[in-house]
């Protein structure tokens, strides 16, 4: 099945951030698009307004009749949907063409030059930065992003003239093995998804296999110091990067007055006086990787400088909702211990003399069981931690695995509490807050607008 013979595309899990970019892509190609998601959200409502038809009950009778022709209908699903899903079972039993989201992205990377960003964390910001740098340059790009770009208010960018396709390469369920990158960044290989991989060694092996998929003539841009031995095809160039060393790195970093400037040292030509549009420490490294991809793709120094200064960030990635002399409040998708550590360190650098409080919703029982001590270590960099119950996503509960595992391992002396998310809105007015961050990849973000109102009205 190729894209030209497809008339209808049905999405199971349509409202996922990666899936919704594909919904928008197929709508842009004039295809009929329908699908299912578990709950209505702001994003699914926007997709409906843009021309999709999404429902919220797992019911075969709700599948539109014009999606019943298996010769012209493609079914796309996310691995987060359980195998017992009634609609997915129906399509399987009736011989429809069914693809994972990652397989569709893989199909698209074969039609152009895939610029892929892989890694345990940093993927979304780095890929969105790279997409912005290229999109606003003479090079241009298409992009399928894992977050909503604040510059464009979407997770899909399209170009009629550019062959480049920026893609976030997701290691969950070995999804990134479907891609054929022209060039790739690997940001980090801290073990994650051990419910899928079993061991850290298997996780690293998966990244190693991913490096074999980079096409001859392309490049790998690897963060320095990773536990990864790439296996590259002949003709693939390899570069390293980090904040302080590597083929691409920063020099002359200046932080002050809420701004960050630095110079890029690069084998393709140094660039002076780069201003970070979102001035947090972790974005220096994210920016270096994004600029490396942009330089490899032909963007020039002035375009890169302008793009870095004008980058507005990604929804739920160090995303400030309030920032004044009285209080700062932000939301961050960080849900791995190392991500959380980097987020808190960036926050501490911005507010060295302020009390830092986080509300953290652990994501997955399995991840909590594997890393509760590491979560506690990272969260112990804060002054106060408010834990909510675990967000299960695709999982069933594991006996004995609750947020209390993290709570019990926080450092002595830290202010700490466990709270049902439904009770947060009544708890927060009682708290002494200077800097508050909501952390996690679950549904706690649904409360962010109400928390913002509470804090603004204090």
Q: Report the pLDDT value the prediction gives residue 428, as an integer from 0 to 100.
A: 92
**Distance from C-alpha of 260 to C-alpha of 116, rounded to nearest angstrom:** 26
Degrees to nearest 5, angle at CA 231 with 226 and 235: 115
Among 249, 277, 310, the domain-final residue is: 310
Q: What is the mean pLDDT of the chain?
A: 93
| Three-state secondary structure readout of 142-203 | EEEEEEEECCCCEEEECCCCCCEEEEEECCHHHHHHHCCEEEEEECCCCCCCHHHHCCHHHH
By residue range, what is the domain housing residue 93?
8-100
Q: Report the pLDDT value the prediction gives residue 149, as an integer from 0 to 100.
A: 95
**What does the chain come to in residues?**
458
Model pLDDT for residues 318-356, shown as the tens digit of each residue: 888 998 888 999 999 888 898 899 899 988 888 888 999
Q: What percent of the chain has pLDDT over 90?
A: 77
Residues 302 and 409 both lie in one domain: no
458: confidence class by pLDDT, cuts 50, 70, 90: confident
Q: Report the pLDDT value the prediction gives residue 376, as an integer from 0 to 100.
A: 97
Model pLDDT for residues 113-125, shown as the tens digit of each residue: 999 999 988 999 9
Residues 23 and 79 both lie in one domain: yes
Q: Tell me: pLDDT of 140 over 90.
A: yes
In sequence order, the β-bridge partners of residue 237 are: 219
Average pLDDT over residues 390-407: 91
Helix (H, G, I), strand (E, B) or coil at 48: helix
Other Cβ atoms closer than 10 A to 273:
12
In sequence order, the β-bridge partners of residue 143 are: 157, 166
Q: Report the pLDDT value the prediction gives residue 373, as an integer from 0 to 100.
A: 96
Among 287, 310, 333, the domain-final residue is: 310
Question: Tokens 């011989």 appear where?
Answer: 95
**Distance from C-alpha of 136 to C-alpha of 131, rounded to nearest angstrom:** 8
Model pLDDT for residues 142-161, shown as the tens digit of each residue: 999 988 999 999 999 999 99
**Distance from C-alpha of 47 to C-alpha of 5, rounded to nearest angstrom:** 23
Residues 138 and 262 both lie in one domain: yes
The answer to whether the CB of 214 falls within 8 A of the CB of 237 is: no
Q: Report the pLDDT value the prediction gives residue 1, as an integer from 0 to 100.
A: 67
Residues 148 and 85 both lie in one domain: no
Structural domain contains residue 138:
yes
Residues 301 and 284 both lie in one domain: yes
Residues 75 and 205 both lie in one domain: no
Structural domain contains residue 105:
no
Residue 27's H or E segment, with its range, is helix 17-28
The CATH number that applies at residue 192 is 3.40.1190.10
Model pLDDT for residues 179-230, shown as the tens digit of each residue: 999 999 999 998 776 677 878 899 999 999 999 999 999 999 999 999 999 9
Average pLDDT over residues 377-386: 97
Q: Tell me: pLDDT of 2 over 80.
A: no
Give the pairing type, strands 271-275 and 259-265. antiparallel
Structural domain contains residue 389:
yes
Q: Tell me: pLDDT of 394 over 80.
A: no
Among 100, 130, 157, the domain-final residue is: 100
Q: Token digits for 410? A: 């926080």
Q: Report the pLDDT value the prediction gives residue 198, as an integer from 0 to 100.
A: 77
16: confidence class by pLDDT, cuts 50, 70, 90: confident
Residues 294 and 339 both lie in one domain: no
Q: Alpha helix (H) ranges present in 190-321? A: 194-197, 200-211, 282-296, 301-310
Name the domain count of the chain.
3
Residue 119's H or E segment, with its range, is none
Q: Report the pLDDT value the prediction gives residue 168, as an integer from 0 to 100.
A: 93
Q: Report the pLDDT value the prediction gives residue 256, as an integer from 0 to 100.
A: 78
Angle between helix axes 17-28 and 101-109 (nearest 10 degrees) is: 50
**Distance from C-alpha of 181 to C-alpha of 109, rounded to nearest angstrom:** 7
């Amino acid at each position: 099945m190729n894209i030209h013979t497809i008339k209808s595309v049905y999405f199971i899990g349509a409202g996922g951030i990666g899936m919704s970019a594909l919904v928008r892509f197929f709508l842009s190609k004039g295809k009929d698009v329908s699908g299912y998601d578990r709950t209505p959200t702001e994003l699914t409502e926007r997709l409906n307004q843009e021309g999709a038809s999404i429902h919220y009950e797992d019911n075969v009778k709700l599948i539109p009749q014009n999606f019943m022709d298996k010769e012209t209908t493609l079914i796309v699903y996310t691995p987060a949907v359980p195998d017992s899903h009634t609609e997915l079972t129906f399509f399987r039993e009736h011989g429809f063409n069914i693809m994972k989201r990652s397989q569709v992205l893989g199909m698209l990377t074969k039609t152009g030059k895939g610029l892929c960003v892989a890694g345990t964390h940093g993927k979304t910001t780095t890929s969105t930065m790279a997409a912005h740098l290229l999109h606003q340059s003479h090079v241009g790009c298409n992009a399928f992003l894992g977050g909503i770009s604040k510059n464009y208010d979407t997770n899909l960018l399209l170009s009629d003239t550019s062959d480049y396709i920026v893609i976030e390469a997701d290691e969950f369920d070995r999804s990134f093995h479907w891609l054929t990158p022209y060039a790739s960044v690997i940001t980090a290989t801290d073990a994650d998804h051990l419910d899928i991989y079993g061991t850290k060694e298997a996780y690293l092996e998966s990244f190693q296999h991913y490096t074999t998929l980079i096409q001859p003539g392309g490049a790998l841009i690897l963060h320095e110091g990773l536990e990864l031995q790439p296996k590259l095809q002949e003709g693939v160039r390899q570069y390293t990067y980090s904040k302080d060393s590597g083929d691409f790195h920063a020099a002359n970093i200046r932080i002050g007055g809420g701004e960050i400037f630095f110079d890029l040292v690069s084998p393709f030509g140094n660039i002076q006086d780069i201003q970070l549009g979102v001035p947090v420490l972790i974005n220096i490294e994210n920016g270096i990787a994004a600029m490396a991809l942009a330089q490899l793709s032909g963007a020039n120094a002035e375009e890169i400088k302008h793009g870095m200064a004008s980058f507005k960030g990604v929804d739920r990635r160090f995303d400030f909702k309030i920032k004044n002399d009285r209080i700062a409040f932000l939301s961050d998708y960080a849900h791995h211990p190392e991500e959380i550590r980097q987020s808190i360190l960036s926050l501490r650098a911005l507010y060295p003399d302020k009390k830092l409080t986080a509300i953290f919703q652990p994501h997955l029982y399995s991840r909590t069981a594997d890393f509760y001590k590491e979560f506690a270590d990272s969260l112990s960099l804060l002054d106060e931690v408010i834990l909510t119950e675990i967000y299960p996503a695709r999982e069933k509960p594991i006996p004995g695995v609750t947020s209390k595992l993290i709570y019990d391992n926080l450092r002595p002396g830290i202010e700490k509490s466990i709270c049902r998310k439904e009770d947060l809105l009544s708890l927060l007015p009682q708290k002494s807050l200077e800097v508050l961050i909501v952390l996690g990849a679950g549904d706690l973000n649904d409360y962010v607008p109400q928390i913002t109102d509470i804090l603004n009205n204090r």
